[in-house]
Amino acid sequence: NTVKFLVQYMAVVYKVSSTERLQLMERELSSQLSALKTEIEENGVLQGTPAKSYSSVPIPKDMSYFRQERELVLRRALQVAAARPVLVQADAMQRELESCLSREYTPESLPLLLHQFYTDRSYQLAQCKYQYMLRWRRFCRHSSIIEQLYPLYKQQKREIMGDY
């Protein structure tokens, strides 16, 4: 949720053409594009081509196209992949216990519920392991840190895999 909020916030706060230098560069690019476009059209007419669609050189795109492309690249750069948060197993088991104790569920539906619970739990543990490996990769970049933290990392990973 916080990652989505930050991306939305940055999209609102950051304006693609907000700086003065960027606007100057856009105006310069726009004038160059229009000059190139007129040159292509004039050369096409002088060479006797009946329409601009027959030219071997494509007409350059306008400034709004490049602005949209830049916006798209910046929005992609702002997106961050994140694993789902790890749920507390005790809370999940308590909810399952409460739902099983209610009269709503029958002995026939209990195996399906247990199957669903363990399927969800295995997915959560896989996410937890992935998240832990990402943290390891992110924070352990020097050999001294790796030597110091590797036994703890191995123990945590062993516990996750034991629960899996």
**Which has the closest alpha carbon to 128: 136, 115, 97, 95?**
136
Asked if residue 98 and residue 38 are part of one domain, the reply reads no
Residue 123 pLDDT: 92
As a dihedral over the C-alpha atoms of residue 144, residue 145, residue 147, residue 152, rounded to 10 degrees, the angle is: 160
Distance from C-alpha of 16 to C-alpha of 19, rounded to nearest angstrom: 8
Q: Is the pTM of this model over 0.95?
A: no
Provide the pLDDT for residue 63: 75
Residue that terminates a domain, selected from 56, 78, 100: 78
- Mean pLDDT, the chain, rounded, equals 78
Query: Are both 63 and 98 inside the same structural domain?
Result: no
Indicate the number of domains in the chain: 2
Report pLDDT for 163: 79
- 21-55 pLDDT tens trace: 888 888 888 888 888 888 877 776 555 555 545 55
The verdict on 71 and 104 lying in the same domain is no
| Whether residue 72 is found in the same domain as residue 102 | no
For residue 106, being part of any structural domain is answered with: yes
Q: Are 130 and 100 in a shared domain?
A: yes
Count Cα atoms within 13 angstroms, Cβ side, for 74.
Answer: 15
**pLDDT of the residue at 8:** 65
Query: What confidence score (pLDDT) does residue 120 get?
Result: 93
**Confidence (pLDDT) at 101:** 78
Looking at the domain assignment, is residue 113 inside a domain? yes
Q: Which of 78, 110, 137 is the last residue of a domain?
A: 78
Whole-number pLDDT of residue 94: 92
**Of the residues 50, 78, 106, the one at which a domain ends:** 78
Q: What is the DSSP string of the chain?
A: -HHHHHHHHHHHH--TT-SHHHHHHHHHHHHHHHHHHHHHHHHHHHTT-SSGGG-SSPPPP-HHHHHHHHHHHHHHHH----PPPPPPHHHHHHHHHHHHHSTT--TTTHHHHHHHHHHHHHHHHHHHHHHHHHHHHHH--SHHHHHHHHHHHHHHHHHHHHH-
Say if residue 17 is in the same domain as residue 66: yes
**Positions in the chain short of pLDDT 50:** 52
- Whether residue 24 is contained in a domain is answered as yes
pLDDT at 156: 85
* Residue 101 and residue 154 in one domain: yes
> pLDDT at position 52, please?
47
For residues 124 and 59, state if they share a domain: no
100 is a domain residue: yes
For residue 15, give its domain range. 2-78
Q: What is the pLDDT of residue 100?
A: 76
